Chain A
Amino acid sequence: MSLWFTLFKKEWLEMVRNFKIIWVPLTFLLLGSMDPLTSYYMPKMIDALGGLPEGTVIEIPYPSPPDSLMMSVAQFDTIGVLIIVLITMGLIAGERKSGVAAMILVKPVPFGFYITAKWAASLLLMWLSYITGMLASWYYTGVLFGWIPFGEFLTALILYGVWLTLIMTLTLFFSAVFKVPGLAGFCSIALAIVINLVSGVLSHRLKWSPALLQTYAGEYLHSGEFSAGTFPSILLATAAIIFLMVFAIIIFRNKELSG
């Protein structure tokens, strides 16, 4: 187990040294605070800067608190996902490409340790950043539009976080399969888009799709009750995460690490 922690600590130290530990949470913080702030101040800004003819009445209704929070989640679902994929796609593929993976894996390091340590470190960074962003959104939403009870906020946060975790795991899986980081990134994003599209179009038939967790988080905030597909999707996402990790390890173990 101490061997696993050695690997984990190395991953963490690397994130500290290349400043991922700072810029990723900061980006999420920015993404999270942007929507509540612009929704609130936009009418005033147009008023001040807009040069609209005298007497024009601008009526932009304020979003409800759940809508405001879910606008931030929508940001995480695009730019946030992109960032997660970008910082994860090279973790294994990059080390194989540079050859440093061969230096490490000729030492008696279990392949499972090597991959799960990377996964755990990424998981920690991802949740840290995501929680930072969500807290910012929750805070500004509360100050500007009304408070969402913290417990409900936390539940919604976890619901959508499961989807982000699945995306991160998917990227790490592709990173273990391919030697080129860009290809791993492309496959992850392409697959995420396809799942999102299919789930959106066939949302009545695919109630268990993890891509719908964003919708379910919103519905929960509005109604205070879980929609029918919520738990099946969480279950499926968890199963997929475990499945991806196991297969990443099996595929990686059977790969030849040089040449």
Chain B
Amino acid sequence: MSVIRVEALKKSFKNQPVIKGVSFTLGENRCTALVGPNGAGKTTILRMLSGLLKPSSGTITFPETSNNGDFRKFIGYLPQHPVFYEWMTGKEFLEYAGKLGGLTKEEAAVRAEELFETVGLGEAKKKRISKYSGGMRQRLGIAQAMIHRPRLLLLDEPVSALDPIGRREVLGLLENLKKMSAVLFSTHILNDAEEVSDEILFLHKGEIVEAGTMARLREKYRQAKIDLTLGNVKDMELFIEQVSNKDFVQSFLVNGNAATFFVENVEEAKTVFLREILEQHLPLIKFEISKMSLEDVFMKVVRS
């Protein structure tokens, strides 16, 4: 069952297209990562989904709900830099957010209490927000996004501003969150995406260049990767000349005397490469076979 369906979403700022026709659906109890380099348009997409920006064209629909325009009540949103009323205490703000989300006073109080435990802010709930640290603000931000039990949680860079311990905790929290709602979070840190998300959307220059479940992406990019370092640049040029036209080499990236080859048939590639090196008497420094990480997939997708 899909929670949100996005079709041909476009956005321009001052005639500069920033999002160039993006379509996807998000399912229930799935955690989806929106991955892309800085400036790819991640924040813009999240803001459009949250209703803060109006799309230039395209549609955003919540299929299971009657379409009466205001879909804000289905959404919990954490901006990249959450801002609060500094003069409130954490508890006051969270209860305020809950009441704005449609909870009664009593429900908001109970739910706020729960969430303080969930996000680990129990100690600080009676402190003024002006006294909160960056990590505490991030947690309060996540709590306020969840308070009215939204169907879809939109989190803009939820872990980028946190220290390693805080990151661990928030990533753990994301695992739990998807039991309650669909989660879409943006990040430029691929490890984070790989760790917690079921699906990944690769965004590059305002377009989704690759998308799918982690399993499907792994399947698709099951090719192996061979990292090779030779004695000097000249040797590498020679070597490239010899092997670049072989059919098992899908693509390669050269960087001075080092190169990365993406190959289909590892066994064959290994034999051919090593034989070539021996026959030409090339000074071998490093030869490493590995599976593609998400980062390699990403680099590949972005460069193509």
Contact = CB atoms under 8 A, between A and B. Distances in A.
Interface string A140-170: 0000000000000000000000000000000
B84 A106 contact: no
A33 B301 CA distance: 75
B272 interface: no
B101 A107 contact: yes
Interface stretch (B45-53, B185-193, B219-227): B45-53
B128 to A, nearest CB: 9
A56 interface: no
Interface in B186-221: none
Given A6-B96, A103-B84, A108 B52 contact: no
Contact of A108 (B81, B82, B83, B100): B100
Given A6-B99, A108-B100, A256-B53, A100 B70 contact: no
Most buried by A among B13, B96, B97: B96
B135 interface: no
B151 interface: no
B87 interface: yes
Nearest to B145: A106
Nearest to A256: B53
B223 to A, nearest CB: 40
B77 interface: yes
B126 to A, nearest CB: 15
B178 to A, nearest CB: 20
Contact of B87 (A17, A106, A257): A17
A100 B47 CA distance: 14
Interface string A109-143: 10000000000000000000000000000000000
A258 B73 contact: no
Interface in A12-59: 14, 17-18
Nearest to A7: B100
A23 to B, nearest CB: 16
A256 to B, nearest CB: 5
B53 A18 contact: no
Given A14-B85, A98-B83, A259-B47, A104 B100 contact: yes
A259 B156 CA distance: 14
B131 interface: no
A104 B87 CA distance: 15
B47 to A, nearest CB: 5
A102 interface: yes
A108 B76 CA distance: 10
A103 B72 contact: no
A10 B96 contact: yes
Interface majority SS (helix, strand, loop, mixed), chain A: helix
B54 interface: yes
B177 to A, nearest CB: 17
A17 B85 CA distance: 11
A107 B97 contact: yes
Contacts of B85: 10, 14, 100
Contacts of B144: 103
B33 to A, nearest CB: 21
A258 B13 CA distance: 12
A197 interface: no
B219 to A, nearest CB: 37
B27 interface: no
B120 interface: no
Contacts of B51: 106
B161 to A, nearest CB: 15
B96 A258 contact: no
Contact of A99 (B50, B54, B83, B99): B83
B91 interface: no
A200 B101 CA distance: 49
A212 B146 CA distance: 52
Contacts of B104: 2
A2 B99 CA distance: 9
Contacts of B53: 256, 258-259
Given A14-B85, A257-B52, A259-B53, A3 B77 contact: no
Interface of B: 13, 47, 50-54, 70, 72-73, 75, 77, 79, 81-85, 87, 96-97, 99-102, 104, 144, 148
Interface of A: 2-3, 6-7, 10, 14, 17-18, 98-100, 102-109, 256-259
Given A3-B100, A18-B87, A98-B83, 13 more contacts: A10-B85, A17-B87, A99-B81, A100-B84, A103-B79, A104-B100, A106-B50, A106-B72, A108-B101, A108-B102, A109-B100, A256-B52, A256-B54
